[in-house]
């Protein structure tokens, strides 16, 4: 296996991770900021409110993007498995 092949596998893994985790992290970030602003405005500082809202946002994101996520993971896995013959040379 060449160094270029190893770097290519690592880059593909990181890009796939970013595509899968990105939407959920962005949803949690946006909800966290909105809830934080509302809590600051109302002076209700309860940590469980923020946690539950982020959990709901991430759950809805998974429900909305679940099929796309699985397709992306299956494509990545298929490409990685098909490149095994190049890796072991």
Cα–Cα distance measured from residue 86 to residue 49, given in angstroms and rounded to the nearest whole number: 50
What is the DSSP code string of 64-77?
Answer: HHHHHHHHHHHHHH
Residue 88 φ/ψ, nearest 5 degrees:
-85, 0
pTM as predicted: 0.75
Per-residue pLDDT tens over the stretch 16-66 = 999 999 999 999 999 999 999 998 898 888 888 889 999 999 999 999 999
For the chain, which residues make up each domain, given as ranges? 3-82
Cα–Cα distance measured from residue 29 to residue 54, given in angstroms and rounded to the nearest whole number: 8
CA dihedral for 71, 77, 79, 82, sign (positive or negative): negative
């Amino acid at each position: 296996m060449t160094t270029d092949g190893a770097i290519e596998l690592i880059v593909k893994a990181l890009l796939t991770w970013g595509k899968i985790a990105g939407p959920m992290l962005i949803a949690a970030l946006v909800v966290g900021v909105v809830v934080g602003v509302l809590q600051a405005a109302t002076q209700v500082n309860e940590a469980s409110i923020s946690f539950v809202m982020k959990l709901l946002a991430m759950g809805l994101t998974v429900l909305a993007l679940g099929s796309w996520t699985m397709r992306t993971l299956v494509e990545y896995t298929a490409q990685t498995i098909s490149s095994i013959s190049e890796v072991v040379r």
